[in-house]
Structure 1
Amino acid sequence: MAVPGAGTIDRAGDRIAERLGDERALGIFRRAMTETLDRAVETLADGTTFVITGDIPAMWLRDSSAQLRPYLYLAGDPELAALIAGAVERQCEYIVLDPYANAFNRAPDGAGHSGDRTDMNPWVWERKYEVDSLCHPVQLAYLLWRVTGSAAHLGERFRAAAEAILRVLRTEQDHENRSPYRFERDDCPASDTLVRDGLGPVTAVTGMTWSAFRPSDDACRHGFNVPGNLFAATALGHLEEIAHEVFDDGDLAARAARLRAEISAGVAAHGVVDHPRFGRIYAYEVDGLGDANLMDDANVPSLLSLPMLGAVDAGDPVYAATRRFVLSDANPHFHAGTAAAGIGSPHTPDGHVWPIALAVEGLTAEDAAERARLIATLRDTDAGTGRMHESFHRDRPETYTREWFSWADAMYCELLLRHSGLRLDAEARR
């Protein structure tokens, strides 16, 4: 069976070849763009699109959005646009089913972590509540609308998902007193479960919205993930626009705008801290009680990724200072070695750099030479596999985690598309 949009992908590769002149880097791009569509993406009988992570047969709301994001650059192709629209519709089905779940099954077969102590459903692979899981599908839907001009995917199912998202984000502003969510897992690392009988670490009301887990699927040290909250404010801005321009629903728009303002004010009041070396920077997590976790993680949303997501302007002085922090030895998860220097994650072994983070570094860099350098680093650290892995050792790229991690492939492809002169960040910013 032919890969959807094959001709469009070939033409994009030709454009990259003209700009980059690097056959090996281009070969990784062509393989990733076609392999994702051939092996990770499936059109179901109802016309919706199911997307596995690559090596896990489940659909993460976050990963699937990121995996399809490079195809937005090529969404003038009707086949590619239809696949993305189908993924949005499937994501909305899942969000309506359970807005606290992060990953879902193709069918209600109970696969995945069915033994977790939480309100499981046979459709749910995993029910780790991550605020970004509700934001990525909104942005994917918004960008598809802005890129193609079509609102066909923004129907009643999307509206129902939007209501579920608003309800959960607002409920989790007061997690201690209002949240129905609990999560515990037995016989696992501490990062895979929540303390206090599944309620999580203590938090105060700040205006921000709570998250149990990070985009890495690791438990938050403090309940308010700052990049997740900035991304939530961005997604609520997208919902406000859709409510006005597509639904002509002033009430929905106003509710999204109010929540967006409250979250943004909460970040400004509690999520920005003074660092003795870098000045005013964003914390990674806070609890509203005075505690802050100063770090960054490779998974998106990260502090580094904020301009790419339209959450802040790249020239914002707080972001600029934060960027200097996260790309330095002051960030406990920044690793520099003989093969690469970049951000890793406590989710993987110490000393491992993530290709996702290297791609994000390039996507948020305005300097073309810096993007080219990062493309070369990614090319040279694939361990000869032609794929981007989850992580690799900073000195020994042949030591890596996850043979096929489609999200990392997608980030690499987006970086090459961006380097060839195409952009999405303008459409993502209000």
Structure 2
Amino acid sequence: MTTKHVPKSFQKMMDLVAETFPEHEKLQKMFGQCFLNTYMTTLTETKEGLPFVITGDIPAMWLRDSTSQIRPYLMVAEDDPEMAAIIAGLVKQQMRFIQLDPYANAFNQEANGKGFQADKTEMSPHVWERKYEIDSLCYPIQLGYLLWKSTDDTAHFDADFRQGVAAILDVWKTEQYHETQSPYSFERADVRQSDTLNRDGKGTEVAYTGMTWSGFRPSDDACLYGYLVPSNMFAVVALGYLQEINANCWQDATLATQITTLKVEIERGIQAFAVQEHPYHGPMYAYEVDGTGRKNFMDDANVPSLLAAPYLGYGEFTDPKYLATRDFILSRENPFYVEGAELTGIGSPHTPDHYVWPIALSVQGMTATSVSEKRAILEMLVATDGGTGFMHEGVNASNHHEYTREWFAWSNAMFSEFVLSLCGVCVKGSPLAKMTK
């Protein structure tokens, strides 16, 4: 697997952007850099010859980031067997990692003991970090499903995939009863509160809701309340994908019942506990709840987010509860909504105050239903790259030359997907493809 040349299928996408935006040379250049970023600089191999995708400036593979980084290449894989094989190999590697430890969020390329081995949890040499996040288990299912839709190939739904799915279902069912059944705890010494869990590593106390518990957000920050709503939404979507995969590939009646039961229970929990009455926006989704009445009205830049719900496949882009939630998210009522001289959008407690995340701007663009909003966001992103031609993690809303992370492969990929959607090209089988028809 080489990462040193530009495949013809990639050049085709760059040519498409140039044809769609002939007057916008900076956009053309930025798209080329961002679209190639993962393939040229973060994609390596394990000793077994399977793909290993680092985040960029950290030599470990996150299940979430690796999926998001490779996702735009699904549009290439439709006509590029080599890229399709790389993505299938990544799915296999992800599912093997999940079998090693379904509670881990990031893994080492080999069992070398690197990473946060001093954390008070059940670490192993292959695990870089063991912050349990629901979305880490959703993303590989999503990637496998969308690869099938992009290529019509189901060979990657093999024994590794099925065993990974079994581990995922077991964890999600266990974590519906976090207080009484969960074996998981996590503590990290001498760090800010968002990098560890309170209550001896068990996190804030929760009551049963039907939803499944998460220790951490997709930012890798600790949850304030254990039922992270956007991640439970993503789990419902992933379980729907598994229903379809099982019906078409495995025809396992027992598995079908397990998947359907869990999906129904989580969805009921979302509607019963996560839909809350906001004093200004009416019925909308809270970001986190605990099952006892406590709720957290906010949204974070990282995906899954409430803003990204229809992009991920939960609900419709025009659903009233989503639109009310979106209005809240893009207002000063959201504590992480930022307005600056150069950028306006969603930030995160993971980065400094007054910083907007390009990832959230790309999501806002892809969930917008008006062309004017999409184009305004595109121009904002292109104008605030800090002179690098890349996307960053967070950017000072009043000075785009101040940012976190010189380049951030996940953000580059999200920007690439947003730009391609404006060219009328989307991942087959994705909600975005259905919206742009």
TM-score (norm 1): 0.98
CA distance in 2, matches of 1:216, 1:341: 20
From 361, 384, 391, the equivalent of 1:388 is 391
**What are the equivalent positions in structure 2 for 1:201-216 lying under 5 Å apart?**
201-216=204-219
| 1:45 positional shift | 3.9
Q: In structure 2, what is the equivalent of residue 27 of structure 1?
A: 29
How far apart are 1:176 and its partner, in Å?
0.2
Shift of 1:3: 4.5
The equivalent residue for 2:13 is 12
The answer as to 2:410 corresponding to 1:401 is no
How do 1:14-413 residues align onto structure 2 when only pairs under 5 Å count?
Answer: 14-21=15-22, 22-76=24-78, 77-413=80-416
Aligned-pair CA distance for 1:365: 1.3
> Contact between 2:75 and 2:428, CA under 8 Å: does it hold in 1?
no
Q: Cα distance, 1:147 vs. partner?
A: 1.1
User: Greater CA deviation, 419-428 or 409-418?
Assistant: 419-428
| CA–CA distance in structure 2, aligned partners of residues 49 and 252 of structure 1 | 29
Preserved CA contact (<8 Å) 2:3 2:43: no
* One-letter amino acid of the structure 1 residue matched with residue 56 of structure 2: G
Structure 1 residue matching 2:121: 3-state secondary structure: coil
Tell me the CA shift for residue 35 of structure 1.
2.6
Task: Compute the displacement of 1:320 (Å).
Answer: 0.6
1:322-366 per-residue CA deviation (whole Å, 9 max, x = no partner) reads: 000000100000001110100000000000000000000011112
Q: Which runs of 4+ in 1 moved over 6 A?
A: none
Q: Distance in 2 between matches of 1:252 and 1:25?
A: 47
Distance 1:392 1:351, change over 3 A: same
| Contact in 1 for aligned 2:336/2:348 (Cα 8 Å) | yes
**What does the per-residue CA deviation read over 1:237-296, in whole Å, with 9 as the maximum and x for residues that have no partner?**
111111111112122122111100000000000001001111111000000000000000
- Distance 1:2-1:343 versus aligned 2 partners, 3 A rule: closer
Contact (CA 8 Å) 2:146, 2:429: kept in 1 or not?
A: no
Query: Matches of 2:207 and 2:86 in 1, distance apart?
Result: 42
Rounded to whole Å, the distance in 2 between the matches of 1:32 and 1:387 is 6
Structure 2 unmatched runs, 5+ = none
Task: Summarize deviations over 1:371-392 as a string: whole Å, max 9, x none.
Answer: 2221111111110011100001
Deviation, structure 1 residue 2: 5.7
Determine helix, strand or coil for the equivalent of 2:345. Answer: strand
Distance 1:245 1:297 in 2: 36
Q: Structure 2 counterpart of 1:23, which letter?
A: E
Offset at residue 73 of structure 1 (A): 1.6
SS, match of residue 413 in structure 2 = helix
What letter matches 2:28 in structure 1? L
Which whole-Å CA distance do the structure 1 matches of 2:170 and 2:431 have between them? 23
Report the CA distance shift for 1:109/1:19 in structure 2 as closer, same or farther (over 3 A).
Answer: same
1:126-163 CA distance string (max 9 Å, x none): 00000010001100110001111001111000000000
Task: Flag the 1:425–1:335 CA change in 2: closer, same or farther, 3 A.
Answer: farther
The CA distance in 2 between the partners of 1:312 and 1:49, in whole Å, is: 33
Q: 1:64 Cα shift?
A: 0.4
C-alpha contact 1:65 1:136 (8 A) present in aligned 2: yes
The whole-number CA distance in structure 1 between the counterparts of 2:332 and 2:134 is: 28
Q: Distance in 2 between matches of 1:5 and 1:255?
A: 44
The residue type equivalent to 1:256 in the other structure is I
Whole-Å separation in 2 of the counterparts to 1:266 and 1:166: 17
Question: 1:133 is matched by which residue type in structure 2?
Answer: S
Find the residue that maps to 1:88 and give its secondary structure. helix
Does the 8 A contact of 1:59 with 1:103 survive in 2?
yes
Please provide the CA RMSD for this pair.
1.3
CA contact (8 A) 2:3 2:39 kept: no
CA contact (8 A) 1:4 1:79 kept: no
In structure 2, what is the Cα distance between the partners aligned to 1:35 and 1:238? Answer: 28
Out of 73-82 and 88-97, give the one that drifted further: 73-82
Unaligned regions of 5+ residues in structure 1, if any?
none
If the length of structure 2 is used for normalisation, what is the TM-score? 0.96
Aligned-residue offset at 1:369 = 2.7
**SS across alignment from 1:42:** strand
How far off its partner does 1:426 sit? 4.7
Tell me the alpha carbon deviations over residues 86-128 of structure 1, each in whole angstroms, 9 at most, x when there is no partner: 1101100000000000000000011000000000000000000
Residues 102 and 137 in structure 2, CA contact (< 8 A), matched pair in contact too: yes
Question: 3-state SS of the aligned residue for 2:206?
Answer: coil
Q: Distance in 1 between matches of 2:66 and 2:139?
A: 9
Q: Structure 2 CA distance, aligned partners of 1:290 and 1:407?
A: 35
SS of equivalent to 1:74: helix
User: In structure 2, what is the Cα distance between the partners aligned to 1:160 and 1:368?
Assistant: 43
